[in-house]
Amino acid sequence: MGKPIGNGHPVACVATTKEIAEAFSATGVEYFNTFGGNPVSCAIGLTVLDIIEKEQLQAHALRVGNFFMELLNQQKAKHPLIGDIRGVGLFIGVDLVQDQEKRSPASKEAEFIITRLKEEFIMLSTDGPARNVLKFKPPLCFNTKDAELVVDKLDMILRELEIRKT
């Protein structure tokens, strides 16, 4: 885990199970990191975690993410290009497919969509082996109005694509 932990400050951590940690320790290999344990970075990381807890940002992400997924599922009913919609909280993937039956990836359409969204000041990337999954991972301050705006812009661009195909 990395970037979000420091809210812009370079911080990372490793999470593992007790069994894996013990197995690593049993190898006799010492783990060393030049920047590990930096007190400023540790203080920043702890402060970020405190704020996430105090401001209930995990619950916020879950609530807004569920709302966002509902809006995206409404778009799925309107646009055959949308395949699966999956995710938890604010980390959501929207699979774009040429054909709902064959599930063939709509990679060119995905690239068009992220380019057009950028023109609308919405930054997005694609993921997956065929780069046909729209990857939504907004910051924790993302709210329901933001979700509505993003989905409205996505709907507009999907309609543009549908008009181009006819």
Cα(58)–Cα(44) distance, integer angstroms: 18
Do residues 69 and 48 share a domain? no
- pLDDT at res. 110: 98
Count the domains in the chain. 2
pTM for the whole thing? 0.83
Tell me the H-state helices in the chain.
Answer: 18-26, 39-54, 57-78, 107-119, 144-165
Residue finishing a domain among 17, 36, 55: 55
Which range of residues forms the domain containing residue 31?
1-55
Do 80 and 109 fall into the same domain? yes
- For every residue of 73-114, DSSP letters joined together read HHHHHH-TTEEEEEEETTEEEEEEBS-TTT--B-HHHHHHHH
Whether residues 93 and 155 share a domain: the answer is yes
Residue 151 belongs to a domain with what CATH number?
3.90.1150.10
Mean pLDDT in order along the chain per 10 residues (166 residues): 80 89 88 81 91 96 98 97 97 96 95 98 96 96 98 98 88
The dihedrals phi and psi of 85, each to the nearest 5 degrees, come to -125, 120
Task: Tell whether 26 and 97 lie within a shared domain.
Answer: no
Cα-flanking dihedrals φ and ψ of residue 96, to 5°?
-105, 130
- The answer to whether residues 111 and 143 belong to one domain is yes
Predicted pLDDT of residue 70: 98
State residue 77's pLDDT score.
94
Query: Among residues 38, 55, 72, which one ends one of the domains?
Result: 55
